[in-house]
Every structure is written in structure tokens, then in C-alpha cells.
Amino acid sequence: MTGENEVLERRKRQRFIARRDGAHCFWVSFGGERLPVLDLSLEGFAVPAATPPEANREFDLVLHCDGVVEEVRGQARVVNFIASAAGGQAGCLFDGFEGEGAARLQAWLSDHVQAVSVLPVSEDEAADIVTGPSLV
């Protein structure tokens, strides 16, 4: 992308639909709620939201992956809200992770890419997809 299209594209990395076999597989807990993650990348995520949440205020969170005991703890902030007849969604960016959180998230996403890919994908290819630029 160049010129105006490059300016319009805010995502630096690919976001992945956070579902496997039709069910949510990633969850986020913050503010006393546990919400399904709609899409997820190394940079951020989206969650369902009926009303616009407070924007640009950092909050603590815990990410969960179905079938995995470990958690990812960190901080994020809401950067956008998209209203829809289905209730809308809030887009959030990560501001930081605790401990090995960033590496754990990358491993989760690489495993997710391998699990949902219609074509065989090696571990190295999955890691390249997760850490590489957005494909859309």
C-alpha cells in the first residue's frame, strides 16, 4: 500500500477471528466482566459492546485461551467503537503485558493459525503470519 491507502490502514499486523469450530476460543476479563474476543492480534482485540465504552482510558485485563491454563495479563485501551444492529463492538489496543505475556500471546496465535488454516501451515509459517504485516 502506498499513499492515501497506507494512511487509512491502521492495523500493522493481521487480526484473526477468535473462533474455532464456530465457538469462541479467546476470552478477556476486565472491569468485572468476562467477554468473548471477536478478533485478536499481537496489537489488539475487539469485544462485543452494546454501548460505546470510555475511550483512551487504560485498563487492566486478563486474556484466556480455551484449553490453556496460563493467562496473559496486561493493559489495553479502547480506541474505537462500531455500532451495529447486533450490538456493536469495541476495538482495543494493547499498551503492555506482564512477564512473558507477549510471547505467550504470540504462541497462542501461532497455534490458532495452525488450527484454523484450511491448508497445512508449519510452526514457522504460522509464526511469520502472526508477526508479519496485515494481509488485509
In this structure, what C-alpha cell is assigned to residue 99? Answer: 512477564
Is residue 7 scored above 50 in pLDDT?
no
The predicted-structure confidence for 48-72, as pLDDT tens digits, reads as follows: 998 888 888 899 999 999 999 999 9
The predicted-structure confidence for 76-90, as pLDDT tens digits, reads as follows: 999 999 988 888 999
